[in-house]
Every structure is written in structure tokens, then in C-alpha cells.
Amino acid sequence: MEIRVLRYFLAIAREGSIINAANFLHVTSPTLSRQIKELEEELGHQLFSRKSHSMSLTSEGMILRKRAEEIIAMVDKTEEEFSAMENTISGDIYIGGGETQAIRQIAEIAKGLRDDYPGIRYHLYSGNAQDVTERLDKGLLDFGILIQPADLSKYDYLDLPDKDTWGVLMRKDSPLAEKAFVERQDLLDVPLICSRQAISPQQTPNEFADWFGEDFEKLDIAATFNLVYNAAMMVEAGAGYAITIDKLANTSDGSPLCFRPLTPRLESGLNIVWKKYQVFSPAATMFLERVKERFPI
């Protein structure tokens, strides 16, 4: 299975036909068709459902697409790292994490490093702890920002000084907006829009569930989300109250939304993590040095 053929496969999956993919790749349609037929024979599975003017992925093709995207991303990342070694410090740094205010300090470090080395580029990936650690383990990320609690046994890490404060995002005209804090009983009879990290079954212990106590299963969870922007749109539409962390959604004077912290107060610490025994590119090594200067152990 050649990397070139995987790129062909992904192009067809994206473009929806041999002709469109051939035009994009600047190869002939017969060449492309032959390569995909040989790939299907090699794997022993049909990867595309073929119609007169279009092609769509089979279930086996969908599995290969996910794996092919990961393989191509790793190949591209490796090539970039070796290319950067030939020049002054440059190249790509891949950082993943959930939505958190801690990214402000990471962004300041990133800016300072790029001011000194303009050839450095950053790639940010948003996801929950499971998404981020999966990509770390596969080598698709250099660093991850994890909201505690998180399993750090496989990683080297530094504690970040910031703490995220949990609370409720709501409309300013809602009854709960009249309160300075939100208590457990306030949440029992209202539709909730919960972040995946707040109710994720993979997160053990689950701080929000522990905070809420024995009545956690009685909550009316109307929706879940992984991006606060989308949750804020749901809240603004009146679909419910969002359980999230502070300082992520727009709650300025001109916004219809406001944030109220939970009481008793619930906070989550933060870590920046990387794989143990990780061999970094020069750019990622320099970034880690700056992080350690900013957040000494």
C-alpha cells in the first residue's frame, strides 16, 4: 500500500468521482481508476460504490478513509520535521486541547517564539481529553492541554497556573440570571446543555457529577456539545442552560447571555502534556523550552 495511492483514494473520496479527482491530481482518469482497483484487490474489499457519474464510500471505504487521513497526516508531519532540520529553526508545532482560558498563556508563548523564529507554524486541534490523548498517542500532536482530572500516567507534563471555573451560561432574561450563583437544586427542573467533558463516561472521576451528587441521573440533559460557540447559540435560542467554564462565551453588555458560577465553587486545574520519550522537532523543542521557562516545575 503506497502513500501515493492513499492520496489518490482520499482525493476520490473528497471529490466524489474519478474525473474530478483526476483533474485535481493532474493524472489521467484511467491511471487513477487502475490504481484504485489495484488497492481494492490488495485489501480484498470494495472501497467505493460506483454510479454512472459519481462514487461514494462503502463502509469499508469509510474505515480506510479514517486510517488514510491519519497515515498521510503523520507522513506530512515527518517530512516537515526533517525539512525544518535543514534550515534555521522552523517547522510545524501541533497543539491540541479543549476550550479553556489557559490557551491565552500558551498563545503568548507561541507569539513570542514566532517573533524570534518566523518560520514556525502552529496547528491547533480542539477536542475533549479522549480526542486529544488519542492523537497524542498516534504522534499527530506534539502537545496537549488537558483539563483535570485526566490520566497523566503515559505523559510528561507541567501544571498550568490557571484554573477553569465551572458554571452556567444562560440568557440574561432567564429567572436564574437574577442569582449571583447557581446551586444544585436550581438545575433539577431545567433543560441542560452539557459539555462533553462535564458528563463524559471516560472521565473518571467526573468532577461535575461528583459536585452534583446522587441526583445527577435526574438531570434533564437536552443536548451535549464540544464547542461553546455552538452551545451559546442553543442557549440564545432558549433551548436550555449550558454547563460550561467561564470566559469562553461572549457575555458582554451587548450580549443576551450571562454566566453564573456554581456554588459550592467548582474549579478544574490544567496541564500541558506530551508523550514520554518524545523526540521533538527543533521547533517543538524550542517551544517546550519556552513553556518550561514560563511554567517551571
What is the mean predicted confidence (pLDDT) over 194-198? 73
Q: Which residues pair with 262 in a beta bridge?
A: 182
Residue with cell 491565552: 104
Strand 48-50, strand 55-57: pairing: antiparallel
pLDDT digits (tens, 9 = 90+) for 94-107: 999 988 888 889 99
- Alpha helices (H) along 86-218: 103-116, 129-137, 196-199, 207-212
* Whether the predicted pLDDT of 262 surpasses 90: yes
**15-24, 42-51, 168-177, 194-203, range with the lowest pLDDT:** 194-203
What cell was used for 47?
472501497
Residue with cell 474489499: 45
φ and ψ at 161, to 5 degrees?
Answer: -70, -25
pLDDT digits (tens, 9 = 90+) for 199-236: 654 444 567 888 888 888 889 999 998 889 999 999 99
Mean pLDDT score across all residues of the chain: 89
